[in-house]
Structure 1
Amino acid sequence: MILKIEHLSGGYGPISVLKDESFTVAAGEVVGLIGLNGAGKSTTIKHIIGLLQPTSGSITLNNLRLSDDSTAYHQQIAYVPETPILYPELNLQEHIELTIMAYNLPQEATWQQAQKLLRIFRLDNKLKWFPVNFSKGMKQKVMIVCAFITQAKLYIIDEPFTGLDPLAVRDLLKLVNEKKSAGAAVLMSTHILANAQQSADRFVVLNHGQVRATGTLAELKKQFQMDDANLDDLYVQMSEEEFVE
């Protein structure tokens, strides 16, 4: 098991968001993390990448905890955030070089992969561009390129389709499938449920910081007692549960 979250509780200082949350992501598996706004998706991701510290429970990557070796732990993760985070003083080429150094990647082989991805996302003629020159969608593509040149064990993708054109969405989903086939684990948080249903093997449904349900789409249908439902229908059902609460 690549990612293992056991009885995780935590949040922002005195504000508790996650409550006894447990789920896993295996090698060669894409797991969709879904839930309403405020359900705890982003808070969960922040705990996994180490921006927040749990009040109880544990998070392990290949049986390694952040407290065991923070560098080795982080080098197993490639993260594409919802809002692109780029260094304004670095151009595209320098962002790639920084990624190579941070992950201790082989220069020549990684640059070959980077050039391939840059062509796919139509950024190959923009290596000297700075973030101020990029649109939001282009910034998101830079984040995707930097994440997918790594050999991470776990790819965390938070709302990856925001700002991407349909062609880029197709290319991203293809990359996700390639990493999955190579044995990586992928945790994808998104509100674009059609894409999640297309690409995810299994889903973790969060509600009020707890795991409301987990499983394949067929298993979720049974848990929600909606045999003919798709992922959108299940999401609506959860919204109605939220309203009742």
Structure 2
Amino acid sequence: MQVRIDQLTKVYGMPMFGQTIALDNISLEFPGAELVAIVGANGAGKTTLLESLVGIVASTSGAVFLDGERFSRSRIDLRRRIAYLPDVPLFFANTTVLKHISLYVACYEADRVGLDAEIVNWLQEFALLPKIDHQVRTLSRGERYKAALIALLAVNAELWLIDEPFASGMDPEGLLAFRKAARMAVERGVTVIYSTQILEVAERFSDRVCILQSGRVRTFDSIERLRDQHGIHGGDLEAIYRRISETPQ
């Protein structure tokens, strides 16, 4: 899925009581079939950006276009092509792992031939198959995140928006399974956008990196091009991030 963000701004609060600019005139383009890491400190705007793309947060100004069509909360057809996973996943009340996944698929009307086998395969990949009939509320934090990720995989969305997957509490099996799933999705043409504060992860696991600072895009490109742009030849993303942070906006 192609994504274009055009001068997106989100302001919280009212002028008389004080305002916070969470997103400041952001413009970005994602041509599709790529893995993008959104990097930034706490409060940089990472979550607000993801929530704006899925329609949870209404922007103050600007627009989002998906495959050339203007996105809005009312566009249910476009929303069904997006899967969003917050850092603290939400679940249907009093459900087992399998029931939650089934209800999630039903909400997207995403049932298809062979889906049951796909779900079992991902449950195995994420080492969650033994918990298939367990109540979600009894799972550990990392296991709950795994269950939410498998539900996301099951709906076969064209745009994944994932908030802090590498700070989710998942064990090594879960993290490896997520990396595998994301790369396979990109090969199918899916656009995968995730946020992280872990620079080493973003450097190793992305096609391009977007660095946000105080709601603004400071830079957005591949690691190789970022090195050239910021004069840090052979340096890592941490060096690039430090250089950008030390440069006035």
* Equivalent residues in 2 for 1:12-31, closer than 5 Å: 12-14=12-14, 15-31=20-36
- Displacement of 1:68 in angstroms is 7.8
Partner of 1:101: 106
Q: What's the TM-score, normalizing by structure 1? A: 0.92
Partner of 1:216: 222
**Comparing 180-189 and 79-88, the one that deviates more:** 79-88
Cα displacement string for residues 131-178 of structure 1 (whole angstroms, at most 9, x for unaligned residues) = 221000001101110111122110111110121122221111111000
Partner of 2:17: none
* Equivalent residues in 2 for 1:1-245, closer than 5 Å: 2-14=2-14, 15-67=20-72, 69-162=74-167, 163-241=169-247
Distance in 1, Cα, partners of 2:192 & 2:86? 14
Would you say the 8 A contact 1:9–1:56 is kept in 2? yes
Would you say the 8 A contact 2:160–2:192 is kept in 1? yes
**Comparing 212-221 and 230-239, the one that deviates more:** 230-239
Distance in 1, Cα, partners of 2:136 & 2:12? 30
- Displacement of 1:199 in angstroms is 2.0
- Displacement of 1:187 in angstroms is 0.6
- Displacement of 1:45 in angstroms is 0.9
- Displacement of 1:83 in angstroms is 1.4
Cα displacement string for residues 177-205 of structure 1 (whole angstroms, at most 9, x for unaligned residues) = 00000011111111222222222111111
Would you say the 8 A contact 2:38–2:196 is kept in 1? yes
Could you say what the CA RMSD is over the residues aligned between the two structures, in angstroms? 1.8
Distance in 1, Cα, partners of 2:222 & 2:177? 24
Query: Size of the alignment, in residue pairs?
Result: 243
- Displacement of 1:69 in angstroms is 4.5
Cα displacement string for residues 196-239 of structure 1 (whole angstroms, at most 9, x for unaligned residues) = 22221111111111111111112211232222211122223344
**Comparing 190-199 and 167-176, the one that deviates more:** 190-199
Distance in 2, Cα, partners of 1:238 & 1:128? 48
Identity among equivalent positions (%) equals 28
Distance in 2, Cα, partners of 1:59 & 1:13? 22
Would you say the 8 A contact 2:37–2:196 is kept in 1? yes
Cα displacement string for residues 96-141 of structure 1 (whole angstroms, at most 9, x for unaligned residues) = 1112211112254222211110111122122221122100000110
Say which SS state the counterpart of residue 42 (structure 1) adopts.
helix
Distance in 1, Cα, partners of 2:10 & 2:196? 21
Would you say the 8 A contact 2:127–2:174 is kept in 1? no
Q: Note closer, same or farther for the CA distance 1:138–1:218 as it changes in structure 2 (3 Å cut).
A: same
What one-letter code is carried by the residue in structure 2 that aligns with 1:205?
I
What one-letter code is carried by the residue in structure 2 that aligns with 1:217?
I
**Comparing 59-68 and 222-231, the one that deviates more:** 59-68
